[in-house]
Amino acid sequence: MKTQLEQAKDGIITQEMKMVALNEGLSPQFIREHTAKGQIVIPCNPKRKNQKVIGIGKGLRTKVNASIGTSSDICQLDFEVGKAKAAEEEGADTLMELSAGGDLNKIRRTILSASGLPVGNVPLYQAFQETIDKYKNPAKLDPEYLFDLIEQQLDDGLSFMAIHCGINLYTIDRLRKQGFRYGGLASKGGTFMVAWMDANKKENPLYEQFDRVCKLMKKYDAVLSLGNGIRAGAIHDSHDRAQMAEMIINCELAEIGRETGCQTMVEGPGHVPLDEIEGNIMLEKRMSGNAPYYVLGPIPCDTGAGYDHISAAIGAASSARYGADLVCYITPAEHLALPDIQDVREGVRATRLAVRIGDISKYPDRRENERQAAMARRDMRWEDLEKHLLFPDIARKIREDRAPQNQKTCTMCGDFCAMKKGMEVFENDIKEKDKDYVTA
């Protein structure tokens, strides 16, 4: 079986490419050309049927990922299924199943059955959890078991994986020479791999045997997301030498993977101040040959706990504006607790709004929906306005809860409505000039 990348290089437009083109309003040839260059990836493991087909990358709408999963403190399968369904209902494009507690095989397979989204994971979570359960020591992780586990998870139907291939002895040395960090290490999988390498005095097997990683991903045509295991967990660590060393390596590995026919994308930070986001994305695109970039937020400040979904939305809007292709949501519970179903809903909504804002700037020719929404609001056509909103159900509920006496206005201004008065003054001018005008 050839991957989407290999078929695109052969000049074949697959059914998946056609579906992406239809959903994006672009030509199938455009999708094929950029898939062939490795600038668009399509996560669609054929082992799993009836999953949503999406494209991630150049020229496409910025996608939103929602992450769910158990922990050692809270492990309720029904709870995670509810979060997976909530993420899909709210419009997430992909789902990461990041459980680290309980029966991980059962949880993963249940989520795959419950969701229609492309699902990804971090295989190091299960690898280290089961090693700890068996030996009480994560340093006893067997690399052969790790590779077997990756294949098992792919065989279950995962369509993408965040695999920490870019951590190596060189990146660890950078951490030591710079005197560690203000914010420590933020990646669970990355930190445990660093600890494994330090304890065993060996190279990261995922880096050392990168060709084997690519071969497994190609077998299932899953997208390899080159995990950001040394990402900054505080803005004061942003773009330090350790993070940059891993970024350079991941960009090199993206190119190597692409040359083998493996669909790849690069994973990014983390915590980044707003003024550094543009430069971060420019570097990733330049060094990787425009590989799709999957960013985690980013969060541009360290003091917003409880509202980190808002902090991250600000970072996400900027990231989408400058070229990020997939954004992982952040929930209000980030840094504080395992998110619940409402946290998931809020996280997806905030991130969808953020990437819409970014895409409006990134693609100025795609602003027609915004124009239609503005005219409907101007003309006080409330039902028409709802058709153009990201969250029409929420807007409708707010309006119904505080309904105005005059249904043409709203209770924000009532009779003192600027829109109503403006229409009275300029109605004749609008009729002559604006063919879309409808008398309210």
Under 8 Å between Cβ of 81 and 362: no
Q: What is the pLDDT of residue 148?
A: 98
Same domain, 116 and 54: yes
Comparison of pLDDT for 435 and 214, the residue scoring more? 214
Same domain, 226 and 204: yes
Crossing angle of the two packed helices 241-260 and 277-288, in degrees rounded to 10: 40
pLDDT digits (tens, 9 = 90+) for 249-283: 999 999 999 999 999 999 999 999 999 999 999 99
**Predicted confidence (pLDDT) at residue 372 exceeds the cutoff of 70:** yes
The residue type of 117 is L
Same domain, 356 and 421: no
Q: What is the pLDDT of residue 427?
A: 81
Q: What is the pLDDT of residue 438?
A: 56
Same domain, 182 and 63: yes
Q: What is the pLDDT of residue 440?
A: 43
Beta strands per DSSP E along 24-178 = 40-41, 56-57, 63-68, 94-97, 119-121, 160-163
Instruction: Single out the residue in 365, 392, 410 at which a domain terminates.
Output: 365
Same domain, 359 and 407: no
Same domain, 30 and 41: yes
The H or E element that residue 221 is part of is none
Q: What is the pLDDT of residue 407?
A: 87
pTM above 0.75, yes or no: yes
With cut-offs at 50, 70 and 90, classify the pLDDT of residue 420: confident
∠ CA 245-246-248, nearest 5°, is 70
Q: What is the pLDDT of residue 435?
A: 61
**Predicted confidence (pLDDT) at residue 434 exceeds the cutoff of 70:** no
Q: Which domain range does residue 405 map to? A: 368-433
Domain count, the chain: 2
CATH number of the domain residue 319 falls in:
3.20.20.540
The H or E element that residue 277 is part of is helix 277-288
Q: Which tokens is 334 given?
A: 């980030």
Same domain, 207 and 126: yes
Residues 6 or more apart whose CB falls under 8 angstroms from that of 52 comprise: 93, 116, 117, 118
Q: What is the pLDDT of residue 437?
A: 56
How far apart CA 330 and CA 312 sit, in angstroms, is 6
Residue 440 inside a domain? The answer is no
The distance in angstroms from the start CA to the end CA of the chain is 57
Same domain, 425 and 297: no
Give the residue among 360, 362, 382 at the shortest CA–CA distance from 371: 360
pLDDT digits (tens, 9 = 90+) for 305-327: 999 999 999 999 999 999 999 99
Q: Is 432 exposed, middle or buried (0-12, 13-18, 19+ CB in 10 A)?
A: exposed
Same domain, 275 and 145: yes
Same domain, 288 and 428: no
SS3 (DSSP) at 257: helix
Same domain, 307 and 405: no
